[in-house]
Structure 1
Amino acid sequence: MRNLALRPILLISFIFLLLSSKTFAQESKTTVEQDAKFQLLLKEKQKINNNISITDSYKIQIFYGSGEESKKKLSEFKRDFKDIEGTIIYSNPTYKVYVGNYKSRLHAEKVLIDIKKKYPSALLIKPGK
């Protein structure tokens, strides 16, 4: 009686063993051809993303107000300080103009001194905190 109960289990196990040895996985080689301009575009996007990051570094806020005024202030700032990047962030109900991207507070404070000569209301912030 016991042998009769084991027989179907052994038969099914044997069939699965045979089938599993005959299966083959799919193998293929994929080659990706991309335009050289794509790498240039990717590098530009990474540079932009690094400048927009607002959570892990110190920024200097030079203005807050309406959208049109913020655009004017940002373009004016870029004329005065060509080497410092800036961005406009919308924070309901106003727009804020952030400039710089500083990892240390000390470096941000040094730049803030120069910026305050032209923009007296500028202040040092650490967004997201």
Structure 2
Amino acid sequence: MKKPKFLTLFLFCFFCFTMSLQAQNETKTSDSIKKLIEKKRNYNKKNGFGYTIQVYYGNERTAKSTHAKFGILYPRVSRKLVYNNPEWKVQVGNYKTKLEADRANLIFSKEFTGTIVIPMGK
């Protein structure tokens, strides 16, 4: 008498498990999900993601010299010179998390005053 109950329970659990896997597979292969992921990747390529550190904000001459000085002191860290009328910015690094950016900022703030962590694309 216990065998039929056990068999019924086993078959019920097996059926639920296979339906769950089928639902997961349908979600993973959904065209709308693929389009959404592609849209997010394109957005990240265009606008960036994560955090960067701004080491200078001000006039052109000082921005260019700060950009060059940073390149000499930290050659492996990416850097860019950004112009937003009428001011220039020197932004460095590309960090996935704010914690990573804060740790790097502690190092850079020893050489450069007024450094701040900002979200990418700002």
Q: TM-score range by the shorter chain?
A: 0.5 to 0.7
- Give the TM-score of the pair, scaled to structure 2: 0.58
Cα deviations by residue, 1:51-97 (Å, 9 ceiling, x for unpaired): xx654220100001122221110000011111111001111210100
Give the equivalent residue in structure 2 for 1:78.
71
Give the equivalent residue in structure 2 for 1:106.
99
CA distance in 2, matches of 1:99, 1:59: 6
Q: Unmatched 5+ residue regions in structure 2? A: 1-44
The letter of the residue matching 2:98 is R
Identity among equivalent pairs (%): 29
Superposed counterparts of 1:63-74, under 5 Å = 63-74=56-67
CA distance in 2, matches of 1:119, 1:103: 22
Q: RMSD of aligned C-alpha atoms?
A: 1.8
The letter of the residue matching 2:102 is E
Query: How many pairs align?
Result: 78
Moved over 6 A (4+): none
Cα deviations by residue, 1:3-25 (Å, 9 ceiling, x for unpaired): xxxxxxxxxxxxxxxxxxxxxxx
The letter of the residue matching 1:69 is T
Larger Rg: 1 or 2?
Answer: 1
- Secondary structure (helix, strand or coil) at the match of 1:83 reads coil
- Secondary structure (helix, strand or coil) at the match of 1:117 reads coil
1:96 paired with 2:89, answer yes
Give the equivalent residue in structure 2 for 1:121.
114
